[in-house]
Amino acid sequence: MNPFELSPLRQLSTEDEAELVAQHDTDIQQMLPLLGPLFGLGVILFNLWDYWVDPAHALTALAVRVGLVLAGSIAYQHTRLPWSAVQRWGYIYWTHSSAIIVSQFVLKDGFLHGLTGIAVCVFTLSVVALRVRTFLLILSVPSLLFAALGASRMPAFNFFNSMTLYLLSVGLACILMLVIRSFRIKTFSSEKELLRISRHDSLTGAFNRGYLTELAEREVALAVRHGRALAVAMLDIDHFKRINDTYGHDTGDEVIRRLVKTCSGNLREIDHFGRIGGEEFACVLPETGAAEALVCAERLRRSVEAIRIETSQGQLQFTISVGVAVLDVTHADWNALLKEADNALYRAKRAGRNRVVLATPEPVIAPRVIRPVPPTKN
């Protein structure tokens, strides 16, 4: 694939669009403290051009520039106002571009000489705006100001010529914005895909062991901190080696995929399901006590038992064994809880498979208190 190929100008999903906008807003947030003052400094220094064009009105133009730049400078840094970074840049653009437009209105033939500066400002929006609607909204007020003041000062032909060049600049800046958006979408999609690959099992789409461990450790910490219940269920496909040997590894892969699809469809949104390794899976159940965890595990067992897979050797049915453990004070961390669920799983295997077994926590033995024996009297 050509690395310079543009992504199609497609609409992202609502969730992805919101995530992309939030990411973009964070980038602009970091750029504003530098770009804002540089923009303001450039607007003020442009007054040197004013002295060359119309020395008699240059001081008035300088006062306009400084006043509007100071008005916009409140948005250089994050304030208590509920503005996003893009909204802050929009306010900066309104005040700073208006400073250029109004100062050109003050000068004799200012619009003819200052059109370049007005048009260049438009291209700053190509980097800041991410959507056409945002681009046009930020551009609206300065454009109306430019049209109104230009029409009142310039002859009809000059006004028409200036507006044509200005609109051409707007069109080019909008195209540039769409190109930048296309690259941002490509980068965003690539990063999201890499993140998905790093977190999910390639065969089944379930969480891989590393990411499941990360989620589980967080859930355990929250459960301990807030005194909430938490359970974990470990699942293992019964006689999986026999399935591979009899039906082939392709069928074995299909068994694992159907297991994940079935279990994921029987869990809540707050639950976490992942592949531990081979044919073993774990399910983290936040805010779930022993009774609820057993009901959930039994529902998973029955759902898997009902799966039927058509093969060249006939219909295949398979089962799972499940071990359940519930977090309590005897568990030092996630690994201890998982080990207890694993022990319960092996008990289910030894008891005949295709069943759910609840781990029985080891009794906590109180330390023996040795009291001193009082001395005997002779």
Residues 266-305: tens digit of each pLDDT: 999 999 999 998 899 999 999 999 999 999 999 999 999 9
Can you give the pLDDT at residue 162? 87
Mean pLDDT of the chain: 88
Can you give the pLDDT at residue 310? 92
Cα–Cα distance between 319 and 7 in angstroms, integer?
45
Q: 205-260: per-residue pLDDT in tens? A: 999 999 999 999 999 999 999 999 999 999 999 999 999 999 999 999 999 999 99
Can you give the pLDDT at residue 221? 93
Contacts of 40 (CB under 8 A, 6+ apart): 69, 72, 73, 76, 92, 96
For residue 255, the one-letter residue type is V
Strands 320-326 and 356-358: parallel
Can you give the pLDDT at residue 15? 85
Let me know: does 103 contact 110? Beta carbons within 8 Å: yes
Angle in degrees, 0-180, between the axes of helices 156-199 and 209-226, rounded to the nearest 10: 90
Can you give the pLDDT at residue 261? 95
Q: 158-172: per-residue pLDDT in tens? A: 889 888 999 999 999
Q: Which of 314, 325, 301 is nearest to 237 (CA)?
A: 301
Q: 89-111: per-residue pLDDT in tens? A: 999 999 999 998 998 888 887 87
The pLDDT confidence band at residue 370, using thresholds 50, 70 and 90, is: very low
Percent of the chain with pLDDT over 90: 58
Mean pLDDT for the stretch of residues 343-350 = 95
The DSSP result for 84-148, as a single string, is -HHHHHHHHHHHHHHHHHHHHHHSTTHHHHHHHHHHHHHTHHHHH--SHHHHHHHHHHHHHHHHH
Can you give the pLDDT at residue 109? 79
Can you give the pLDDT at residue 374? 55
Can you give the pLDDT at residue 345? 95
Sign of CA dihedral 77, 78, 84, 85: positive
Can you give the pLDDT at residue 139? 93
The pLDDT confidence band at residue 155, using thresholds 50, 70 and 90, is: confident
- Does position 154 have pLDDT exceeding 90, yes or no? no
- Does position 365 have pLDDT exceeding 80, yes or no? no
Is pTM beyond 0.85? Reply is no
Q: 313-338: per-residue pLDDT in tens? A: 889 999 999 999 999 978 879 999 99
Mean pLDDT for the stretch of residues 119-132 = 88
Region of poorest pLDDT, from 63-72, 79-88, 155-164: 79-88
Q: Which domains are seen in the chain, by residue range?
A: 14-197 (no CATH), 209-358 (3.30.70.270)
Can you give the pLDDT at residue 263? 95
The pLDDT confidence band at residue 7, using thresholds 50, 70 and 90, is: very low
Can you give the pLDDT at residue 9? 53
Cα–Cα distance between 122 and 33 in angstroms, integer?
20
Both tokens of residue 358? 């609840």
